[in-house]
Each structure stands twice: as structure tokens, then as C-alpha cells.
């Protein structure tokens, strides 16, 4: 009997302690989403377009690492750059990354640009997903879970960089395909993604995002004239883990410069804020109108003269 | 003149419970005709032949879509993830189906009992529109068998689509509830009718809440792509109210269009009350639609001013935008205003049709044409167009099937219960 009482008291103590910790937790660490500055240890990759020569080694390494289907034409076939007249290649359901060539007006030699998921710090795909299929890890990788995906493709609409791709050819397990930062195979152990390790020109630098921003600024400062003074991805869509520096204006090499400098979710917040308003105000408002209308009808029933005077008014 | 019944159903019914189910099939489903008489009637109508052709090509395409994937019947574009199926089927059908909540609000909340004769048609139009929007969605979703995942399996409650999914599902149930009285009269289920009558006010208010939010949410979905859609078709602060406000006149005009079709082609099923009050109701609905159009135009202007988009009006896109506004909103507004003032019913009907087409045009512009405006344009695959027509054909068949049987266009009289409802 005594032991039961003891355990009961213990249970109460433990639950109270739990509640108190829960209440105190927000005081210790600011848990509000809007104030969260991002993970400090967040990783990233700096892409230096001035170093890239378009060898497509990164494409091959990515294909191997992620066991993607063999490409229609081998990765050492450079003629693929010549056949991009109408629209350029983009990451799709068979390739997580592609390199495109641009003939920029500001540069004599062509410029190459690697495209993959930029791993936003506040990803639009994640915030737009209604089944929570996307997660972001402390390392900054944005991951997709095919097991809960319904295939609505809202993430493809939401992504400002148009990265997620859909397996339209699959009838029974179509899923979204996109770069996963090599999280399951490499990043989780602190190793750089396959493309970075494969790059023979050191065009891709892996490291902590904060450190990469410092490196980028240094390179721009030390090599006067070689770079445009801009780091693409520092603020785009609220900041991305993958950052770009280039020697030509970014809009000349296919970058969208109109991408908002704030997280995409900010544009949706106005609507999300009215939801609780409508849910709480509408019932009272419309029930009230109904009661007023009903009361007037009863009043007219009791005193038909009211209706007549009303009728005269509308007729006049 | 409706879809032929399944032979196995009627034969099974004959051999099963003696008489009762068979009486139901022959009396209610076949409308007191023998299966042979019924089929002759079905194929005597040339419109049914047209529907048959659409279905004969469309059903195999539907099977192909589920057997070999979306890519085999649509353009399967990575750049245009939402095509015609959603652009027309979801974003177009839903505003045209706002009729249910609008008319039930007018009758039940605002006490406009003069609109009662058309209330059930508006409710049915709403219910079927939503139901078929979900059908379109089931064709377009990558994994349609996971449709209920956001309800039971995995939750993303901060996403706009989460709200759309829940609200459309809930609102479908509300609309089924609102249609129960008509169904109950048809099958003779008095208790069902009485129960719904007691909760009508609750259902109606739930309908207003859910409609406000999900009509708006369909617009707010595009706030996720502020940089991809041409600025004239997106203004994040006002997008939801643009979609909600335009759905008001879309729903009212759709009722005018449907009631016109019904008055011409289903005249036998309309009772005197419906026929005699239709002109008066058309004028009332037109006035309501005109008010909503003026409001819509003003908010559109507010958005232009707020986002400082005047400069775009002088570009080619601006010309296209102005033509959408003039043909899809201003011209119908003029027709509805002039027509309702001078009681010109044909003018009101043309104006309403124009407004309905204008809404479809606006939604297709937002989803497809003005989406990725800086990128290349893509033309939908002909199989996708045909799939859209196929679902539309099934929608029309279902719509007509119900109008022929349930007391929607006529008031039920107890003496009708035996056999043929309308004379």
C-alpha cells in the first residue's frame, strides 16, 4: 500500500516537473519559428563559376552516388552544350544536377553553371507541403520523404528555383526527385557531397555556410575585376545553403534575379492570418444577421402595416 | 435519356428481395420504363451520341493514365507541374460551384425566400461541381490512392493546400447534407429530411466559412510562386480576396447559365413554380453578380495600385490583361446591369455565360498561361484536353441523371411518390 502511494506521489512530482520544464523551455531557448536564426553549424557549398570548365564530372559523380539511371548520352559528351537552343537542361527525374553553358555578353569565353537543389534555409517546398514530406536537417539539407507524398506537385510550383522534378513516367510510385545534398550517404558523416569531391577544378567548396560567405567575400575582394560583387544565395528566398559567385552578371547566366530576398512563406502569411479570423467571426456575424432578419419577419407577422410601409419604400 | 442502367444490377435485384429492389430500379432509376424503352429513349437524343463519342475515346485514355502514368496522357512537364486537368478541373470548377453556399445563404440567412425555387438547383450545382473537382484531382494526383493522407497519415497544417484539402472534404459533406432533403423526398425517407431541417442554419453557416476560406485558399496557393506568375495576375496580399470575390459572381452566373439550359432542354421536369419565377430570379441573381463584379474590379485596381504595376499595362502582357478584364468582367457587368434594369432576360443570360467563361479564362491564365511567364510556353497534350472533356461529359451525365429524378426543379408532392414525378 505504501509503495503505491509513494509511486503515486512520485508520478505527480514527475509530471509537475515535466510541466514546469515545458513552461520554462521557451524562456531558456527562443522557440518562436520567426525568430529562429538558422542552425549555426549549417553546411553549404560555394560554387565559383569562374573556375568551372563544364567537364560534367559532377554530373557523373552525382549519377553514380545516387544510383540514378544511366544517361542517354555519356557524361563526357560535351556536344550536349550545343543543343540547348530552345530551352536549357534542368534537373529532372533522371538527374539531380546538370551543368549548362552560357554565352555571356560580358565574357569572351563561355560560362558554365551547375544547377541543383540550393537547399534553402527556409524552403518553400517544405512550407507548401500539406503532408509534411519535406524536412530540413541541422546540416542544412532539405530532404524529401516519398512514403507520405501524394504527388500534388505543389512543391514544384512553390520552389523559386524550379528544382523538384516529378516521375511522370511512373504509374504506381511516382515521386519527387531532387538533390538530397548526399545527406544519407555522406553529409551525415560530415563528408562533402559527391559532386564536390569529384570536381577537378576546385570550383565547388564545401564547408559551414557562414565560413563560405567569408571565403566568397575574400575572393571577391582579393581578385579585383574577376568577380561581380554579389553572392547569389546569400539572401535569395531567405538564404540558401548553396552559394554562387561569378565573373559576369548573374542574369546573363540564367539566374533569376527577381527571386524574393525573403522566405517564400512570408508571401502566404497574410492569408494564413485571416483563417482564424474567418473561423471565429463568421459564425457570430451570420447567425446575428439571421436573427435580425427573423426578428423583422416576426414583427411583420404581428403588425402587417410594417410590411406595407416597407413595400411602399421599395416601390418608390 | 440518361446513362443506361447496369443489366446485372436489375437482374440481381429481380432474383433477390422479391419485388422491392426491382420496383426501385424500374420505378426510380428507369423512371417507370422498361429497359428497352429506356435505351431507345437514350439513343434517340443526338447529344447522347456526342457524349458517347467523347467517352469512347476518353475511357481508354483514363485507363492508360492509371496503367502507364501521367506522362503518357499529359505533357508531363517539369516546368508546368499543374496543367489543364487542375487549371480547368479544380481552379475552374470550384468558383463556378460557389452557387450552393451563395443561394443557401441568401435563402436561409438573409431570408430571401423569393429565391427558394432555385435554391436546390444551386445546391446541386455546388455539390456536383465540388465532387467533380475532386474527380479531376484524382486523375491528376500522382498517387490518388493517398488522397486522404493529409487527413489521417501525415500532417502539414501550415500549408495552404492542407486547408484546401480539409475544407473541400468538409464542405462536400456539408453539401451532401444540404441535398439530403431532395434525396429523402425521392426515396421516401421522412426522418432524414426532418433531421436536416433542424440543422440547416448550422450547415449554411459552415458552408459560408468553408467557402470563404477555400475559395480564397485556391488563390493563396499562388502566393507560393510570387516570382513565377506575371505580376498582373498575382498580388500576394490580395490574391485570396480576388479569388473569393470572383467566385461570388462566378457561382451566381453559373446558376443563371444552368437554369437557362434546364429551362430549354429539361422543360418537362420544371414545375410551374420554377418556370414562372425563373425570369424574376434571373434578374435578382444578375443584380447580385453585378455587385460582386464591381467589388472585384475595385479590388483588382487596388492591387494594381498597391503593387505599383501600372507600367506593365503598357506591355503585351498588359494588353492581354486588359482584354481579360474587359471581355471577362466589364462587358458582362454592363450586360447584367443594363439587362436587369430593363428586364432583358436573354441579355442577362449572355452576360452570365460570358462571365463564366471569363472566370475559366482567368483561372487558366493564372495556372498555365501567365505562370512561368519568363520561361517558354507549353501547349497541353491533346490527350489531356480529351481527358478534361471526358470528365466533363460524366459530369453532365450525372447532373442530368439527378435533375430527371430528384425534386430539384419541381416541388415534391406526396401523390408523386408512386411513379413518375413530373407531368
What are the pLDDT digits (tens) for A166-195?
A: 999 998 999 999 999 999 999 999 999 999
- Candidates A168, A266, A277: best to mutate against B (most CBs of B within 10 A) is A168
Model confidence at A26: pLDDT above 50: no
**Cα dihedral: A222, A224, A227, A230 (round 10):** 80
Q: Which residues of B touch A270 (CB under 8 A)?
A: 223, 236-237, 240
What pLDDT score does B286 carry?
97
> φ, ψ for residue B271 (rounded to 5)?
-85, 175
Model confidence at B234: pLDDT above 80: yes
Q: Where are the alpha helices (DSSP H) in B44-159?
A: 46-68, 84-89, 93-96, 99-104, 116-140, 149-152
Q: Across the interface, do B142 and A283 touch by the CB < 8 Å criterion?
A: no
Q: Across the interface, do A157 and B223 touch by the CB < 8 Å criterion?
A: no
Between these two residues, A312 and A92, which has the higher pLDDT value?
A: A92
Map residue A227 onto helix, strand or coil. Answer: coil
A148, A175, A286 member nearest B149 (Cβ): A148
- How many interchain CB pairs under 8 A, A with B? 177
Give the helix/strand (H/E) hosting B163.
helix B160-187
- How many whole angstroms separate alpha carbon B341 and alpha carbon B201? 33
Q: Are residues A162 and A307 in the same domain?
A: no
Considering only CA atoms, which of B273, B343, B339 is closest in space to residue B119?
B273
For chain B, the structural domain boundaries read 1-43, 45-417
Q: Are residues A256 and A287 in the same domain?
A: no
Banded pLDDT at A227 (limits 50, 70, 90): very high
- How many whole angstroms separate alpha carbon B363 and alpha carbon A209? 41
- Candidates A268, A280, A284, A314: best to mutate against B (most CBs of B within 10 A) is A268
Q: Are residues A275 and A258 in the same domain?
A: no
**Residues in contact with B351: Cβ distance below 8 Å, sequence separation at least 6, in sequence order:** B253, B286, B331, B332, B333, B334, B335, B336, B339
Q: Locate the chain A residue with the closest alpha carbon to B163.
A: A130
- How many whole angstroms separate alpha carbon B277 and alpha carbon A208? 73
Q: In angstroms, what separates the C-alpha of A197 from chain B's closest C-alpha?
A: 28
Please say whether the beta carbons of B184 and B177 come within 8 A: no
What pLDDT score does B10 carry?
40
What average pLDDT does range A243-249 have in this prediction?
95
Model confidence at A316: pLDDT above 60: no
Residue A1 lies in a domain: no
- How many whole angstroms separate alpha carbon B262 and alpha carbon B121? 10
**In this structure, what C-alpha cell is assigned to residue A123?**
524552403
**In this structure, what C-alpha cell is assigned to residue B415?**
401523390
- Candidates B78, B80, B164, B239: best to mutate against A (most CBs of A within 10 A) is B78
Q: Are residues A116 and A184 in the same domain?
A: yes
Q: In angstroms, what separates the C-alpha of A147 from chain B's closest C-alpha?
A: 10
What average pLDDT does range A139-149 have in this prediction?
95
Q: Are residues A186 and A311 in the same domain?
A: no
Q: In angstroms, what separates the C-alpha of B414 from chain A's closest C-alpha?
A: 29
Q: Kindly calculate the radius of gyration of chain B based on its CA atoms and give it in whole angstroms.
A: 22
- How many whole angstroms separate alpha carbon B52 and alpha carbon B393? 9
* Residue B63 sits at the chain A interface (C-beta within 8 Å): no
Tell me, what CATH number does A54's domain have? 3.30.70.20
What pLDDT score does B422 carry?
42
Model confidence at A247: pLDDT above 50: yes
Residue A48 lies in a domain: yes
- How many whole angstroms separate alpha carbon B155 and alpha carbon A133? 9
Banded pLDDT at B68 (limits 50, 70, 90): very high
Locus of grid cell 550536349: A80
> φ, ψ for residue A166 (rounded to 5)?
-115, 140
A93, A282, A293 member nearest B212 (Cβ): A282
Q: Are residues A307 and A202 in the same domain?
A: no
- How many whole angstroms separate alpha carbon B340 and alpha carbon B330? 15
In chain B, what percentage of residues exceed pLDDT 90? 73
Please say whether the beta carbons of A155 and A176 come within 8 A: yes
Please say whether the beta carbons of B164 and B221 come within 8 A: yes
Question: In this prediction, does ipTM exceed 0.95?
Answer: no
pLDDT digits (tens, 9 = 90+) for B269-292: 899 999 999 999 999 999 999 999
Please say whether the beta carbons of A163 and A126 come within 8 A: no
Please say whether the beta carbons of B102 and B251 come within 8 A: yes
Banded pLDDT at A23 (limits 50, 70, 90): low
A131, A158, A174 member nearest B150 (Cβ): A131
> φ, ψ for residue A172 (rounded to 5)?
-110, -25
What pLDDT score does A4 carry?
47
Q: Are residues A91 and A179 in the same domain?
A: yes
Q: Are residues A120 and A242 in the same domain?
A: yes
Q: Are residues A305 and A176 in the same domain?
A: no
What average pLDDT does range B71-94 have in this prediction?
93
* Residue B110 sits at the chain A interface (C-beta within 8 Å): yes
User: Looking at chain A, which runs of residues are DSSP E strands?
Assistant: 43-48, 98-102, 111-115, 134-136, 142-144, 165-166, 176-177, 204-208, 242-245
* Residue B226 sits at the chain A interface (C-beta within 8 Å): yes
* Residue B237 sits at the chain A interface (C-beta within 8 Å): yes
Model confidence at A25: pLDDT above 80: no
A167, A171, A256 member nearest B66 (Cβ): A171
A156, A175, A268 member nearest B223 (Cβ): A268
Q: Across the interface, do A86 and B376 touch by the CB < 8 Å criterion?
A: yes
* Residue B165 sits at the chain A interface (C-beta within 8 Å): yes
**In this structure, what C-alpha cell is assigned to residue B132?**
467533380
What average pLDDT does range B97-123 have in this prediction?
94
Q: Across the interface, do A286 and B158 touch by the CB < 8 Å criterion?
A: no
Q: Across the interface, do B154 and A264 touch by the CB < 8 Å criterion?
A: no
Considering only CA atoms, which of B120, B255, B268, B233 is closest in space to residue B182?
B120
Between these two residues, A85 and B242, which has the higher pLDDT value?
A: B242
Q: Across the interface, do B154 and A133 touch by the CB < 8 Å criterion?
A: yes
Domain count of the fold of chain A: 2
- Candidates B105, B225, B381: best to mutate against A (most CBs of A within 10 A) is B225
Model confidence at A267: pLDDT above 90: yes
Q: Across the interface, do A132 and B156 touch by the CB < 8 Å criterion?
A: yes
A166, A256, A268 member nearest B142 (Cβ): A166
Banded pLDDT at A311 (limits 50, 70, 90): low
Model confidence at B4: pLDDT above 70: no
Q: Are residues A164 and A307 in the same domain?
A: no
Residue A182 lies in a domain: yes
> φ, ψ for residue A45 (rounded to 5)?
-135, 135
DSSP collapsed to 3 states, A96-147: CCEEEEECCCCCCCCEEEEECCCCECCCHHHHHCCCCCEEECCCCCEEECCC
* Residue B415 sits at the chain A interface (C-beta within 8 Å): no
Residue A5 lies in a domain: no
Using alpha carbons only, give the angle A66, A71, A73 rounded to the nearest 5 degrees: 150
- Enclosing domain of residue A308: 269-315
**In this structure, what C-alpha cell is assigned to residue A30?**
527562443
- How many whole angstroms separate alpha carbon B131 and alpha carbon A150? 19
Q: Which residues of A touch B141 (CB under 8 A)?
A: 150-152
Please report the residues numbered 374 through 413 in chain B whose beta carbons come closer than 8 angstroms to any beta carbon of chain A: 374-376
- How many whole angstroms separate alpha carbon B285 and alpha carbon B336? 9
Q: Across the interface, do A160 and B228 touch by the CB < 8 Å criterion?
A: yes
Residue A227 lies in a domain: yes
* Residue B200 sits at the chain A interface (C-beta within 8 Å): no
- How many whole angstroms separate alpha carbon B122 and alpha carbon B204? 13
* Residue B143 sits at the chain A interface (C-beta within 8 Å): yes
What pLDDT score does A312 carry?
55
Q: Across the interface, do A128 and B66 touch by the CB < 8 Å criterion?
A: no
Q: Are residues A85 and A177 in the same domain?
A: yes
Q: Is B264 exposed, middle or buried (0-12, 13-18, 19+ CB in 10 A)?
A: exposed
* Residue B40 sits at the chain A interface (C-beta within 8 Å): no
Q: Across the interface, do A130 and B375 touch by the CB < 8 Å criterion?
A: no
Q: Are residues A166 and A182 in the same domain?
A: yes
Render B96-112 in DSSP notation, one character per residue. Answer: HTTHHHHHHIIIIIS--
Amino acid at each position: 500500500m505504501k509503495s503505491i502511494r509513494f509511486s503515486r506521489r512520485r508520478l505527480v512530482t514527475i509530471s509537475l516537473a515535466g510541466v514546469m520544464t515545458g513552461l520554462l523551455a521557451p524562456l531558456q531557448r527562443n522557440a518562436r519559428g520567426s525568430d529562429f536564426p538558422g542552425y549555426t553549424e549549417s553546411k553549404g557549398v560555394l560554387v565559383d563559376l569562374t573556375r568551372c570548365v563544364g567537364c560534367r564530372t559532377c554530373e557523373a559523380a552525382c549519377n553514380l552516388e545516387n544510383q540514378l539511371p544511366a544517361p542517354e548520352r555519356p557524361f563526357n559528351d560535351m556536344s550536349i552544350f550545343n543543343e540547348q537552343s530552345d530551352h536549357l537542361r534542368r534537373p529532372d527525374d533522371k538527374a539531380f544536377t546538370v551543368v549548362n553553358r552560357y554565352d555571356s555578353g560580358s565574357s569572351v569565353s563561355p560560362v558554365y553553371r551547375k544547377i541543383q537543389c540550393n537547399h534553402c534555409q527556409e524552403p518553400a517546398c517544405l512550407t507548401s507541403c500539406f503532408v509534411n514530406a519535406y524536412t530540413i536537417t541541422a546540416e542544412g539539407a532539405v530532404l524529401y520523404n516519398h512514403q507520405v507524398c501524394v504527388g500534388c506537385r505543389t512543391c514544384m510550383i512553390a520552389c523559386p528555383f524550379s528544382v523538384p522534378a516529378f516521375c511522370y513516367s511512373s504509374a504506381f510510385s511516382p515521386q519527387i526527385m531532387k538533390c538530397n545534398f548526399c545527406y544519407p550517404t555522406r553529409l551525415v558523416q560530415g563528408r562533402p557531397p559527391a559532386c564536390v569531391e569529384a570536381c577537378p577544378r576546385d570550383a565547388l567548396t564545401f564547408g559551414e555556410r557562414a565560413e563560405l560567405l567569408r571565403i566568397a567575400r575574400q575572393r571577391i575582394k582579393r581578385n579585383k575585376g574577376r568577380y561581380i560583387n554579389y553572392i547569389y544565395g546569400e539572401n535569395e528566398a531567405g538564404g540558401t545553403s548553396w552559394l554562387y559567385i561569378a565573373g559576369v552578371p548573374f542574369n546573363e547566366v540564367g539566374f533569376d534575379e527577381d527571386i524574393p530576398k525573403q522566405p517564400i512563406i512570408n508571401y502566404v502569411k497574410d492569408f494564413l492570418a485571416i483563417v482564424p479570423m474567418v473561423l471565429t467571426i463568421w459564425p457570430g456575424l451570420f447567425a446575428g444577421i439571421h436573427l435580425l432578419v427573423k426578428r423583422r419577419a416576426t414583427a411583420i407577422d404581428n403588425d402587417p402595416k410594417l410590411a406595407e410601409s416597407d413595400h411602399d419604400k421599395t416601390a418608390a | 435519356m440518361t446513362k443506361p442502367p447496369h443489366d446485372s444490377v436489375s437482374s440481381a435485384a429481380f432474383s433477390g428481395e422479391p419485388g422491392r429492389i426491382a420496383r426501385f430500379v424500374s420505378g426510380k432509376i428507369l423512371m417507370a420504363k422498361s429497359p428497352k424503352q429506356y435505351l431507345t429513349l437514350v439513343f434517340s437524343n443526338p447529344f447522347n451520341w456526342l457524349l458517347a463519342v467523347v467517352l469512347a475515346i476518353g475511357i481508354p485514355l483514363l485507363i492508360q493514365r492509371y496503367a502507364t502514368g501521367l506522362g503518357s496522357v499529359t505533357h508531363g512537364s517539369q516546368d508546368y507541374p499543374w496543367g489543364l486537368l487542375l487549371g480547368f478541373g479544380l481552379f475552374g470548377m470550384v468558383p463556378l460551384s460557389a452557387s450552393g453556399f451563395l443561394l443557401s445563404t441568401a435563402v436561409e440567412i438573409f431570408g430571401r425566400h423569393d429565391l427558394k425555387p432555385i435554391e436546390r438547383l444551386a445546391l446541386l450545382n455546388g455539390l456536383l461541381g465540388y465532387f467533380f473537382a475532386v474527380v479531376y484531382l484524382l486523375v491528376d494526383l500522382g498517387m490518388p490512392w493517398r488522397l486522404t493522407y493529409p487527413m489521417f497519415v501525415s500532417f502539414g497544417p501550415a500549408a495552404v493546400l492542407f486547408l484546401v484539402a480539409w475544407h473541400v472534404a468538409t464542405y462536400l459533406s456539408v453539401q451532401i447534407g444540404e441535398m439530403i432533403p431532395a434525396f429523402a423526398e425521392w426515396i421516401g425517407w421522412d426522418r432524414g429530411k426532418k433531421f436536416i431541417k433542424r440543422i440547416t442554419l448550422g450547415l449554411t453557416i459552415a458552408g459560408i466559412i468553408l467557402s470563404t476560406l477555400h475559395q480564397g485558399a485556391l488563390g493563396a496557393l499562388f502566393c507560393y510562386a510570387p516570382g513565377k506568375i506575371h505580376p498582373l495576375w498575382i498580388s500576394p496580399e490580395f490574391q485570396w480576396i480576388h479569388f473569393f470575390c470572383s467566385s461570388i459572381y462566378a457561382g451566381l452566373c453559373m446558376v443563371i447559365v444552368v437554369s437557362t439550359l434546364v429551362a430549354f432542354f429539361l422543360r418537362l421536369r420544371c414545375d410551374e413554380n420554377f418556370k414562372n419565377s425563373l425570369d424574376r430570379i434571373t434578374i435578382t441573381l444578375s443584380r447580385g453578380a453585378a455587385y460582386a463584379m464591381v467589388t472585384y474590379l475595385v479590388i483588382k485596381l487596388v492591387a494594381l495600385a498597391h503593387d505599383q504595376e501600372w507600367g506593365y499595362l503598357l506591355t503585351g502582357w498588359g494588353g492581354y490583361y486588359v482584354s481579360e478584364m474587359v471581355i471577362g468582367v466589364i462587358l458582362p457587368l454592363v450586360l447584367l446591369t443594363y439587362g436587369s434594369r430593363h428586364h432583358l432576360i436573354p441579355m442577362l443570360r449572355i452576360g452570365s455565360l460570358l462571365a463564366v467563361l471569363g472566370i475559366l479564362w482567368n483561372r487558366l491564365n493564372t495556372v498555365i498561361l501567365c505562370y512561368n511567364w519568363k520561361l517558354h510556353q507549353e501547349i497541353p497534350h491533346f490527350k489531356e484536353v480529351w481527358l478534361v472533356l471526358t470528365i466533363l461529359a460524366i459530369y453532365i451525365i450525372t447532373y442530368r441523371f439527378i435533375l430527371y429524378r430528384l425534386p430539384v426543379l419541381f416541388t415534391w408532392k406526396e401523390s408523386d411518390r408512386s411513379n413518375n414525378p413530373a407531368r
